Structures are given as C-alpha cells and as structure tokens.
Amino acid sequence: MNALDDEKHRVIGVYGPSGVGKSWLLEQIEKRIRSEKRLFDVIAKATVSQTWELKNIQEDIAYAFSLDLNNVPSKVGRADLLLKRLQMELKSKQKILVMLDDMQEELDLKAVGIPSGDESAGCKLLLTSRYKDVLQAKMSAKPTFRVEDLKDDEALRLFEKTVGDKLEDDKELKAIPPQVVKKLAGLPLLIISVASTLKDSNVYAWRNALINIEESNVEAIVKLSYHHLKSEDTKTLFLLCGLIGGNL
C-alpha cells in the first residue's frame, strides 16, 4: 500500500510460487482501496496466465471503464480505443490502477492499450508473477515484493482451521497434520485443498494421503482432491475447470 501511494513508483511487482497467495493478495488490496476510497479512482484488472489472449485482457480492462470493445474487430483498433479512453481519464486527473495477475512472460503494454513511459502519469501497474525476472527485467517493476511461504506453525493452524472440529477428540488423527503440512511447502492453496479433501474422511484416508503426497507435487495433490470427490458430475466440473484454466 505504501508503494502504491508513492508517486515515484509506476510499476509494482509481487512474485512467489504458484499457490502462495498472490491473487488473494490482489483481492485484499482492491478491497482495501475501495473501502478506504483513496489512492485510485478506477481499478482495472485482468488475469494474464500462460494461455492469455490479448482480446480477453483488453476486454477485462475496458470493463472497468464501461467501454464496449465488441464492435471493434482488430487488436490494434481495440488497443487504440482503450489507450484513448485511459488517456482521457488521466487528463481529467483520474488516478488509475491496472492489476495484471499471473504473468508468465513479458506483455507488450502498447499492444494492449495501456499507457507507458511519460504518458502513464497517474496510471500505475500492479503485477504478479511466479518469476521475479519477468517483473524486474521485462516489465521494469520497481519495487518488487516476494510473498513468502507459510511457516510450519502457520501452515498447521491453517490446516486445522480448514478441517474444523474433527481433530479435537481424535489423538490418532491429530498426529498426522504436522507431517502433511511439511510436505505442502507452506503453500496456502495446497493446504486448503488437502484439508478440505480430508475433513470428512476416515483415518485410513488420512494415512494414505500422507503416503501419496510428495513434497510440493501439485499433480499428486490435485489427483488426491479429484479422487475424493463423491459424484461424477462434480468430477466432470473439476476437470472442465482445469481444462479452461479456471481457479479450482
């Protein structure tokens, strides 16, 4: 928040491994800015990810300005229209924050329609990526902040909170969570996923989970979550979300 409030910072980066909570952090920042009604007049956001499409990013940003790009067929035309709208807002002294989440590689801001350089006064970028060099070397982000993994005691508290009362009266189960969370590398997304999967399972399922989960192996954890889904419809929905790149 201090970096966003500092006039000399134009591009700010947040980085860390997948599942550590970067997207959640952006949500909290947005909520705080909107609730305090300060810093920015408009917040535009888009998820970039590995399979990004320029059109989708443009439309997501345009939505914040109630700008309809559906009737503009070309990428260049949409970029030009979006850039003119942002420049108009900046000239009227509006302060704009553009959030771009989950960047895997360099993004050409000009191709999107986002002002940069001397044209960007009043417009800030808040970017997230797994890779620090993408933010610093390719997007000129300064400063950058690393989202740290949870420490063992924090990870255990999150696991126990997600599981609920199940552990209170079962000494055998209570010995398993500390061993499980050590294998989940302090990543909140994985901890919540596994805890949610196990909270209604018996002790045998907990033991199998402890055996099957390899450290930081996201694939093994996703398989564990999938196989514990009870209905075929739910499993199909799970697979469909994964296929289209949704957040499970």
**Does one domain contain both 179 and 217?**
yes
The two structure tokens encoding residue 23: 């997207």
Q: Give me 222's structure tokens.
A: 């996703």
| Cis omega (within 30 of 0) for bond into 115 | no
End-to-end CA distance of the chain: 28
pTM to 2 decimals? 0.77
Total count of domains within the chain: 2
Q: Picking from 19-33, 101-115, 136-150, 203-217, which range would have the lowest pLDDT averaged per residue? A: 203-217
User: Can you read off the two tokens belonging to residue 221?
Assistant: 């954890």
Lowest-confidence pick of 108-112, 117-121, 166-170:
166-170
Among 150, 106, 108, 143, residue whose Cα is nearest residue 126: 143
Percent residues over pLDDT 70 in the chain: 90
In a domain, 163, yes or no: yes
Q: What whole-number distance in Å separates Cα of residue 148 and Cα of residue 145?
A: 9
Upper half-sphere CA count for residue 164 (Cβ side, 13 Å):
7
What integer pLDDT is reported at residue 49 of this predicted model?
A: 82
pLDDT of residue 221: 63
Structural domain includes residue 213: yes
Q: What is the pLDDT of residue 15?
A: 96
Query: Where among 120, 146, 172 does a domain terminate?
Result: 146
Higher pLDDT, 99 or 188: 99
Residue 128, helix vs strand vs coil: strand
Q: Which domain holds residue 168?
A: 152-243
pLDDT of residue 88: 94
For the chain, percent helix, then strand, then coil, each to nearest 5?
50, 10, 35
128 and 171 inside one domain: no
Residue 248 falls inside a structural domain: no
Q: What pLDDT is recorded for position 248?
A: 39
